């Protein structure tokens, strides 16, 4: 099968969802402010060779589903009415796939959080084998055979068992032939293909491909969303230092050495830009502030440059599951003239924090201690992101 064969995906979303007890079809139940149908569309956007997505929904909801798909831009999609059984719904979806399609995937909308990597694995395996491929996970529970009276008959060898998921992928011609010949009622498409005499292989599935069937599954899906979405938090930091009375004190500002400029007084090098950034980052993440994290009692920090504080702050955030989104700093003072070295400062601070940092400078038009040239002030705002975790 060619390396760039066309792929159609049939998304089966015609289930009633009676076990959820929410009085509406499962695919139209909302999780995190979006319907299950909407969530299952996300991996389809990343499929390079997708030629068509067919959404099979309850007949009464065809118009509503069509309207909801309008913002999909480049994603080619149609909506068709499903049948009374899953098999009938898949058959309706197959009828909408044009001749000449190479591979067709059948995916349950109820497996709304299946990652795109599973789609890719299935597609590549169909191309490589030329027959049906299904994703699955090894069975980890002990499985017992039970008689009709409830007594245990035997223990099933679980090493030969696989918990099957979707999307299930097939050569289009094989699946259409198998559905044309299908006589019974099958619970998945691999069984239809096997009944027609075609082989089916298994590739690795994913735990995120669980099927939403019960209220407990909704809770699991909601928990997955909470843990997979990056948390965004903002913070503000302010720092001010007077110029040193010691004419030999070096000025370190925004991580840079400024030759010929009088330095700032302080336990460390007095870098108000670096210190304001640290306060903003610590405040955003709720992990204290510059004083509580880097007190003046620490002899190792005597005369330490701002880069030391920034690196340690980044390490503190990382240890608590946070990363830096971006930082913006306003330096306030009459000197030094900052603009000629702005690009240098931005580059250094960005490299230290591993995130965009932008520093600008202004004056107070002579107002206050800073306006009289007695020192410098910096105000920083920071965006902190919670580290994304997989389910």
Residue 267 annotated as binding? yes
Residue 389 annotated as binding? no
Strands (E), 97-215: 103-108, 132-138, 143-146, 152-156, 162-164, 168-171, 200-204
Residue 241 annotated as binding? yes
Q: Whole-angstrom Cα distance, residue 41 to residue 208? A: 15
Residue 275 annotated as binding? yes
Residue 268 annotated as binding? yes
**What six digits make up the tokens of 18?**
């009676």
Residue 365 annotated as binding? yes
Task: Please count the residues of the chain.
Answer: 391
Number of H helices, E strands in the chain: 12, 18
Residue 222 annotated as binding? no
Residue 362 annotated as binding? yes
Orientation of helix 272-285 relative to helix 342-353, angle to 10°: 40
Orientation of helix 172-181 relative to helix 86-95, angle to 10°: 130
Residue 245 annotated as binding? no
Residue 364 annotated as binding? yes
Burial of 196 (0-12, 13-18, 19+ CB in 10 A): middle
Q: Which conformational region is residue 90 in: left (phi greater than 0), alpha (psi within -120 to 50 degrees), or beta?
A: alpha
Residue 372 annotated as binding? yes
Annotated binding site for a divalent metal cation: 239, 241, 275
Annotated binding site: 239-241, 267-268, 275, 289-291, 362-365, 372
């Amino acid at each position: 099968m060619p390396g760039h064969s066309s792929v159609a995906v049939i998304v089966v979303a015609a289930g009633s969802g009676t076990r959820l007890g929410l009085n509406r079809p499962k695919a139209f139940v909302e999780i995190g402010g979006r319907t299950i149908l909407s969530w299952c569309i996300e991996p389809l956007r990343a499929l390079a060779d997708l030629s068509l997505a067919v959404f099979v929904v309850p007949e009464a909801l065809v118009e509503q589903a069509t309207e909801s798909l309008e913002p999909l831009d480049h994603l080619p999609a149609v909506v068709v009415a499903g049948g009374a059984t899953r098999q009938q719904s898949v058959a309706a979806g197959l009828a909408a796939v044009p001749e000449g399609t190479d591979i067709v995937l059948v995916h349950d909308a109820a497996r709304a959080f299946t990652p795109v990597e599973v789609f890719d694995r299935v597609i590549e395996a169909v191309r490589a084998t030329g027959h049906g491929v299904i994703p699955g996970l090894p069975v980890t529970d002990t499985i017992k055979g039970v008689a009709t009276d409830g007594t245990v008959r035997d223990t099933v060898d679980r090493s030969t068992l696989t918990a099957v998921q979707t999307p299930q992928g097939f050569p289009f011609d094989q699946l259409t032939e198998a559905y044309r010949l299908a006589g019974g009622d099958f619970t998945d498409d691999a069984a239809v293909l096997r009944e027609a005499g075609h082989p089916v292989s298994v590739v690795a599935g994913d735990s995120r491909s669980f099927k939403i069937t019960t209220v407990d599954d909704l809770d699991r899906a909601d928990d997955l969303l909470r843990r997979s979405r990056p948390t965004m938090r903002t913070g503000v930091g302010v720092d001010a230092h007077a110029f040193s009375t010691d004419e030999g004190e070096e000025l370190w500002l925004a991580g840079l050495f400024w030759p010929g400029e009088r330095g700032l007084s302080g336990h460390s090098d007095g870098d108000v830009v670096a210190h304001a950034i640290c306060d903003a980052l610590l405040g955003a993440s709720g992990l204290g502030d510059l004083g509580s994290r880097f007190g003046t009692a620490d002899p190792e920090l005597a005369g330490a440059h701002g880069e030391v504080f920034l690196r340690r702050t980044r390490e503190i955030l990382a240890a608590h599951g946070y990363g830096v989104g971006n930082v913006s700093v306003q330096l306030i003072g009459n000197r030094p003239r900052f603009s000629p070295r702005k690009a240098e400062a931005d580059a250094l601070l960005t490299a230290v924090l591993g995130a965009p940092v932008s520093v600008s400078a202004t004056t107070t038009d002579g107002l206050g201690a800073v306006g009289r040239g007695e020192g410098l002030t910096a105000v920083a705002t920071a965006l902190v992101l919670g580290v994304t975790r997989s389910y």
